[in-house]
Amino acid sequence: MPTTSPTTIDVIELLAGRLTAAQIASKHGVTEREVLVWRAAYVDGLRHAASVPSRKGAAWVVGVSLLLVGVVGASRTALAQSGCTQTLPAPLITFCADAPAHASQVNANFGQLVTWVQQKVGTVGSADVTMTGALNLGGALTVGGAVSAPRYVLPYSNWNSGTPGAGGAAIVNDNVAFDALMIAGNEVASPGTRKINLYDDVFVNRNLAVQGTLSAASVTSATVVPGTVLGGGSSFCNGSSSTLRSCGRFGVGTCGAGCGAITCTRGTATSIAQGACYNPTDGHGGYCYHVLCIQ
């Protein structure tokens, strides 16, 4: 005769009311539903035994029923507690085929996925993307809105191997064909001729080389002093040089407290293009001083 298993004994205790399905499920590492399935199998065995006229047959049916419950319980527990070959990245849990999936393990997997997603793109459920780490792109990035950043650092690239943007415009930090920061305007207005417009003051700290035609609405003469430009600065005064409104410096030039008070920490201060001007920053006219530090 089959030996009565611990699982069968627990089912009998359940029928007797001395154990609950929850207690048995916790003991064997299964769900309460599975425990109720065991109970139903045991009861069915008893019903079949009652319908068999022979005592020997009845005993055999009961024994088979008991053995069935024991095997089912033992196998389910083994599957629930056995480990599978880890195929998912830790700490995700890899489930075995035909093994019970405990709710705590499933929830832990989903919880870890949410954590990883939020670390990369921000809060789940939000349309905004927030990144705290580096963004490494192997391909093109297309942005439909504005891009704001405190600093843009361009890696080296080959100007000749890239694809320009709309209208042929591009900014490339080339280290292959030209060894320079390449800025190309668009050619929408005149196909075949790229164009860049600059609407603010432009200071050139080194040599300026023009390969084409150089044109200007007006040219202000300045004292020509041979040497190398090290730096300088510009100040904007309100009215006729009465009140200093703003002062900018570059290189070795420094700003003082008064109008035109621009000094050079290196080289000789040389005034250029002094006179009436307009400051678009605050919308006022005034008097401008421009000084170069030449050595």
Q: What mean pLDDT is predicted for residues 191-207?
A: 82
| pLDDT of 111 | 93
Q: Which of 106, 99, 102 is nearest to 83 (CA)?
A: 99
| pLDDT of 78 | 43
More confidently predicted of 264 and 97: 264
| pLDDT of 18 | 92
Q: How confident is the model at residue 229 (pLDDT cuts 50, 70, 90)?
A: confident
More confidently predicted of 14 and 168: 14
Torsion of CA 61, 64, 65, 66, to 10 degrees: 120
What rounded mean pLDDT belongs to the chain? 79
Query: Quick one: how far is CA 64 from the chain centroid?
Result: 60
pLDDT higher than 80, residue 166:
no
| pLDDT of 9 | 86
Written as six digits, the tokens of 151 are: 């600093």
| pLDDT of 79 | 44
Tabulate helix, strand, coil % of the chain (nearest 5): 30, 20, 50
State the Cα–Cα distance between residues 157 and 67, nearest whole angstrom: 73
pLDDT higher than 70, residue 234:
yes
Q: What mean pLDDT is predicted for residues 132-145?
A: 82
State the Cα–Cα distance between residues 55 and 52, nearest whole angstrom: 8
pLDDT higher than 50, residue 266:
yes
| pLDDT of 220 | 62
% residues pLDDT > 70 (the chain): 81
pLDDT higher than 80, residue 40:
yes
Q: How confident is the model at residue 240 (pLDDT cuts 50, 70, 90)?
A: low
| pLDDT of 80 | 43
Q: What mean pLDDT is predicted for residues 255-270?
A: 86
C-alpha atoms less than 13 angstroms from C-alpha of 101 in its C-beta half-sphere: 11
What one-character DSSP code corresponds to residue 233? Answer: E
Task: Name which of 20-29, 51-60, 98-107, 176-185 the model is least confident about.
Answer: 51-60
What one-character DSSP code corresponds to residue 68? Answer: H
Written as six digits, the tokens of 96 are: 């075995």
Preceding peptide of 150 cis, ω within 30°: no
Q: What mean pLDDT is predicted for residues 260-265?
A: 87
% residues pLDDT > 90 (the chain): 5
User: Which residue carries 């390449």 as its tokens?
Assistant: 182
Q: How confident is the model at residue 54 (pLDDT cuts 50, 70, 90)?
A: low
Domain boundaries, the chain: 6-81, 154-191, 229-294
Residues 6+ apart with CB under 8 A from 275: 220, 287, 288
Task: Name which of 47-56, 145-154, 270-279 the model is least confident about.
Answer: 47-56
| pLDDT of 282 | 67
| pLDDT of 115 | 92
| pLDDT of 223 | 55
pLDDT higher than 70, residue 103:
yes
Number of Cβ within 10 Å of residue 251's Cβ equals 18
State the Cα–Cα distance between residues 272 and 289, nearest whole angstrom: 7
Q: What is the CA radius of gyration of the chain?
A: 42
Q: Cα–Cα–Cα angle for 188, 195, 251, nearest 5°?
A: 150
Q: How confident is the model at residue 1 (pLDDT cuts 50, 70, 90)?
A: very low
State the Cα–Cα distance between residues 165 and 289, nearest whole angstrom: 40
